[in-house]
Amino acid sequence: MKTIGVFDSGLGGLSVLHALLLEMPDARYVYLADGAYTPYGGRSTEQVAERAHRITQRLHQDYAVDALVVACNTATAMAIESLRQEHPDWPIVGVEPALKPAAALSRSGHIGVLATRGTVESERFARLRARVESESRHPLHFNCQACDGLADAIERGDEATTRVLCARYLDALRANANTPAPMDTLVLGCTHYPFAADILQALSGPDVRLVETGAPVARRTRTVLGLPEASAVVSGTPQITLLSTGDPAPLAQASTRWLGTTVGATHLDL
């Protein structure tokens, strides 16, 4: 049985863990929420990279994981290249805003992107955007919005603030659009944002399609591990270890709410 390590600054990576469980239900999972340092979106590249390397080393040494999923767009943007350089023989899968899938889905070419400031302003995101635009057969307009505070509000379970911020940033997307074509696709560029998908869909309207990254990341992870596709019927309880560098209680509660399984969480000094 393969063991897969997953980490995020907090609870948002549970959306990726959920996709991994659907793709590889018979694997063993170790999920680490860096609650003591969440959110990553407002931190410097040096701070995020230092935490990512420390967490990776701990999961590699103490939990013998066979592959690592960096379930955080900001950490992927700021640290995954150096992580792969440090661990060249170990599969490390990152997440990034689903610009290419969105480009394939969009008919108008007007695609909104909601992400953390750390992701939107990163060189990795700029390269991704340029590559997708250059490969497209049709004109694309990516309308990007940094969503300060949104991941934190979702993390806290503050629905009122989440709703206010979602409305604010969608309004900003509309105000900053410099194309007459209607936005028909919205990229959720942070792993926290799928947990606000109902709010974002209601505010965007039925003609806007929301795109997230969990399923493609799960398929990629299965591929690099050389695992077959899961059978249609899976029995048994998922094997999940939950760790948090902060208070473990919110992680345990979120896993019950978002994964549909009750798993205890443990505090980890790191």
Q: Which residues of 158-194 are buried (b: 16+ CB within 10 A; e: fewer)?
A: eeeebbebbeebbebbeeeeeeeeebbbbbbbbbbbb
Report yes or no: 129 and 208 within 8 Å, Cβ to Cβ: no
The yes-or-no answer on residue 147 being catalytic is: no
Dihedral class, residue 205 (left if φ above 0, else alpha if ψ from -120 to 50, else beta): left
The yes-or-no answer on residue 166 being catalytic is: no
Of 72, 144, 147, 166, which one is the catalytic site residue? 72
Q: Taking Cα atoms as reference points, which of 15, 88, 18, 82 lies closest to residue 54?
A: 82
Residue 108's alpha-carbon distances to 103, 126, 179, 205, in angstroms, are: 10, 22, 10, 15
Of 144, 147, 166, 190, which one is the catalytic site residue? 190
Residues catalogued as catalytic: 72, 190
